Structure 1
Amino acid sequence: MGKGLLNVGISLPDALLDEFDEFIEKRGYSSRSEGIRNAIRSYISYYEWMGNIKGHFIGTIAIIYENTKRDISDALDVQHHYSHLIRSSVHIYFGQDDCFEVVLLDGSGEEIKKLAEAMMTLKGIKISKLTTLALKEKI
């Protein structure tokens, strides 16, 4: 990959761009581009961290998604393929269009990562966050 800068166009909802602009101003970034570069670096670092989840873990996947998106409930059935990892979940409706769900997990770090990736890429997911703790032995 070259060291030069490339121009990239992306499409964003107005509200998200406005929120991002407020963020970069508060943080003191010199430009949107610098803020976006930092966000991409952070995303890459998070993905690399996820790649190191090996062994026995407990954790949570927290997601916020639009409940008005067609088939989002069916799409979240991906959890059924990983039911052996899921110990509990909490589902909360807030606002007219959004749901918050937290899934509590216990098992193989590799499988927890696969479940998190499958959930975070579903259409309608606004925010997703995987948090894990390594366990040397089962509690």
Structure 2
Amino acid sequence: MQRITITIDDDLLAGVDQLCEQRGYGSRSEAVRDIVRSALAPTRAAEAGSAPCYGALSYVYSHGTRDLARRLTDEGHHHGVSVASMHVHLTRDDCLEVAVLRGSVSAMQTYADTVTTQRGVRYGHLHLIPEGDARHTGHDHQHGDGAAN
């Protein structure tokens, strides 16, 4: 790991400190690493070409839109990038769907475009995660058994 020195104005530093406090970072360095990693993730994923990446597609849709739920399910099976999904009823009419994806960036983007352009779908967002970044985040995470990974 390399040590660097950066110069930022007081307002940005206050924002970094606030982020550290809100999210529980142990240091400014951990926060800055996550900020840079998040900023680089889309570029790294796009540069991966046909290499497998991960993604999370989230969207809100109206379940009352004619045949929309069926069409969305069909798209998930057709594109072959969906690994798992979670469905939440937000209101009487709106549902939130989060799909975990794995595949090439182009395949995941095609799937995301097909889903989010359906009539009745709102707030669609595809978050791309390069495969290497999913394995090497630079800090430990606690899981249910208490073991650090």
**1:100 aligned onto 2:96:** yes
Give the counterpart of 2:108 among 108, 112, 128. 112
Q: Which runs of 5+ in 1 are unaligned?
A: 1-48
Q: What percent of counterpart residues are identical?
A: 25
Is 1:129 the counterpart of 2:125 in the alignment? yes
Shift of 1:137: 9.3
Structure 1 match to 2:85 = 89
Structure 1 position 136, deviation (Å): 4.4
Equivalent position amino acid for 1:75 in 2 = R
Tell me, which stretches of 5 or more residues in structure 2 are unaligned?
Answer: 1-42, 136-149
Q: Partners in 1 of 2:85 and 2:133 — Cα distance?
A: 23
Pick aligned residue for 2:57 from 39, 44, 61: 61
Task: Using the TM superposition, give the Cα deviation of residue 57 of structure 1 relative to its aligned residue in structure 2, in angstroms.
Answer: 1.1
Aligned residues: 90
Q: Distance in 2 between matches of 1:56 and 1:132?
A: 11
Task: Output the CA distance in 2 between the equivalents of 1:103 and 1:65.
Answer: 13
Tell me the residue number matched to 2:140.
none
TM-score w.r.t. the length of structure 2 is: 0.54
Aligned twin of 1:72: 68
For residues 91 and 138 of structure 1, the distance between their equivalents in structure 2, rounded to whole angstroms, comes to 23
